Amino acid sequence: MKPLSKQVISACEYFGIDKIVISPGSRNAPLTIGFSKNKNFETFSIVDERCAGFFALGMAQQTQKPVALVCTSGSALLNYYPAIAEAFYSNIPLVVISADRPKHLIDIGDGQTIRQENVYQNHISYSANLDEKDFEKNSKLLVEALLIAEHKKSPVHINVPFDEPLYNDNNNGRDIACNVCTKNNYDTIVNEIIQSQSGRKKEEKLVSLFIPSQIDYQKISKIWNNSQKKLILVGVNYPSEELQEFLNDLVENDNSVLVMTETTSNLYNDKFIGSIDKLITNFTEKDFQYFQPDLLVTLGGLVVSKRIKQLLRKYQPKHHWHIDFYTKLDTYFCLTEYFKIKPIHLLKIIHNNSVCSKVENSYQHKFVEQKTKRNEKHKQFLKQTKYSDLKVVEQVLNSIPNNCQLQISNSSMIRYVQLFDVNNTLQVFCNRGTSGIDGSTSTAIGASFANEKQTVFLTGDISFFYDSNALWNNYVPKNFRIILVNNDGGGIFKIIPGPSNSGALLFFETKHGLTAENLAKMFNFEYCSARNLEEVNQNLSDFYSVSDRPKILEIFTPSDLNDKVLKEYFKAMNN
């Protein structure tokens, strides 16, 4: 085996990476052959690198462990970029391994060659540009890259220059890499990094990966105790029983705490505000002022609700703490403290020091009461509303069996779902790092493969057709289900203000008249469709049961009505 290939593979083995998604090519042959013949790795073959990237992302999202991608040189690795950007903003560990030509063959007219080194530099946490000959240096670069992927939960890039021959290279005695591929050598490098007191900038930066913030608990407990209105706002959050239980307890015992969650927060409680827009859309000026928190605590990743972002930017809290081990976010332009720590650790300590439990305070109560009223109106409205995206989403959410995983595409589908109280046994995911429509199906398939639960993917038509190559995939579980809400274009552009009156709606909405029927045939999915509520419910009644093939249910909805129904809905929510 080529020494460089051996080195990369041994480093992946050392770090316990066990899933490798490979796209075809010759320059990466040494890696393809090495990984696929090694029993420590589960290898996947996916041709389209954009789909491969998102498929890997879906697996890493579920396992919370780095997944590796391997591709050839040239434009191949550029097709990973959308998934890398999503991983970068969603804290998902991807290890991108690209094969390259040796340096002297770049930019001299050789084929399938681009400038690969540091090509993702704006959206990657580390770029290891391996050297054809310096194996000791390579070991360090590999360890640094893989430590960062694992501990920063972030994408990293390893660029590997191979000379020819690419096949049947018997090594010709060049076995230098053997010495540096041992567990002992990797242990030594990791220990050097962890114990580094050298003051060298790069090593300090690496060590800081593992070290949480120093926290002045007295100071922050004082702020907590003095704040009469505390808002905890959670964005994208991997399901956590520990956090769920803590927050349940907190809202029960402290009336000054209001918890707001999104569907992607994977937290459920009747006393949480789970449909933010439903509550705040019709706020009066008085409501806004009362809502303005003394202390805003944010947890998790990005927030879908545009309205809450606008609200908190206008009615800023006195204090804003963002608690997250990986990323500092100042979404509301008023961050006063960033705590690099697991949220539950910090919150537990503060809560234990808390003196304001059970104080007379109506902050939580007022908004929970308002939420209950809105929910009543929501029910009334949905009872009588016409067949539309909103009504279809209601029926779909009611139909999904307990304990499924729900993957959702951007953009109006996730927004519709946010208006409902979702079954609290579901786990919900959506690519909100960059909110792209370019890889939702591939992500859902990767997630479905890596998760034992049945996965249901709810998608719009533009996102679905955009990523139709996602179905070109041999690993789709039989119980995977796609619910495609086909409103013949980007429904979101009729909902948001702007496009409809622009005189150029055509270029936003992009109507197409396509259906998924032939795609389903081509990729061996079972297919059914519905055009009214009765057909929707008929199809859903048996949609999730055991089957020989994965299934697509395509639901056609009226694009000229959907936006009107949604507008009426928000009007009806008015108190």
Ligand X SMILES: Cc1ncc(C[n+]2csc(CCOP(=O)(O)OP(=O)(O)O)c2C)c(N)n1
What are the residues binding ligand X (CB under 6 A)?
Answer: 409-413, 435-438, 460-463, 487, 490-492
Q: Rounded to whole angstroms, how far apart are CA atoms 86 and 396?
A: 27
- Smallest gap from Cβ 435 to ligand X, in A, equals 5
Side-chain half-sphere of 105: how many Cα atoms within 13 Å? 16
Contacts of 216 (CB under 8 A, 6+ apart): none
User: How, if at all, do strands 230-234 and 295-299 pair?
Assistant: parallel
Residue with Cβ nearer ligand X (275 or 459): 459
504 burial (CB, 10 Å; 0-12 / 13-18 / 19+) is: exposed
Q: Rounded to whole angstroms, how far apart are CA atoms 27 and 162?
A: 7
Residue with Cβ nearer ligand X (455 or 487): 487
- Smallest gap from Cβ 464 to ligand X, in A, equals 6
- Smallest gap from Cβ 559 to ligand X, in A, equals 8
- Smallest gap from Cβ 462 to ligand X, in A, equals 3
- Smallest gap from Cβ 495 to ligand X, in A, equals 8
Residue given tokens 């780095």 in the structure block: 66
Q: Which residue is closest to ligand X by CB?
A: 460
Q: E strands along 78-175, which residues? A: 94-100, 127-129, 156-161
Residue with Cβ nearer ligand X (307 or 366): 307
Q: Are 329 and 298 in contact (CB under 8 A)?
A: yes
- Smallest gap from Cβ 502 to ligand X, in A, equals 15
Residue with Cβ nearer ligand X (364 or 410): 410
- Smallest gap from Cβ 487 to ligand X, in A, equals 5
Q: How far is CA 385 from the centre of its chain?
A: 33
Residue with Cβ nearer ligand X (54 or 162): 54
Question: Helix %, strand %, coil % for the chain, to 5?
Answer: 45, 15, 40
Q: Torsions phi, psi of 192, nearest 5?
A: -60, -40
- Smallest gap from Cβ 195 to ligand X, in A, equals 44
Q: Rounded to whole angstroms, how far apart are CA atoms 521 and 376?
A: 43
Residue with Cβ nearer ligand X (125 or 409): 409
Closest-CA residue to 231 (of 337, 342, 316): 316
Q: Residue 530: which H helix or E strand, with range?
A: strand 526-530
- Smallest gap from Cβ 569 to ligand X, in A, equals 15
Residue with Cβ nearer ligand X (147 or 495): 495
Q: Rounded to whole angstroms, how far apart are CA atoms 96 and 90?
A: 16
Q: What is the DSSP letter of 437?
A: S
Closest-CA residue to 83 (of 443, 380, 421): 443
Give the gyration radius of the chain's Cα atoms.
25
Residue with Cβ nearer ligand X (146 or 555): 555
Residue with Cβ nearer ligand X (63 or 435): 435
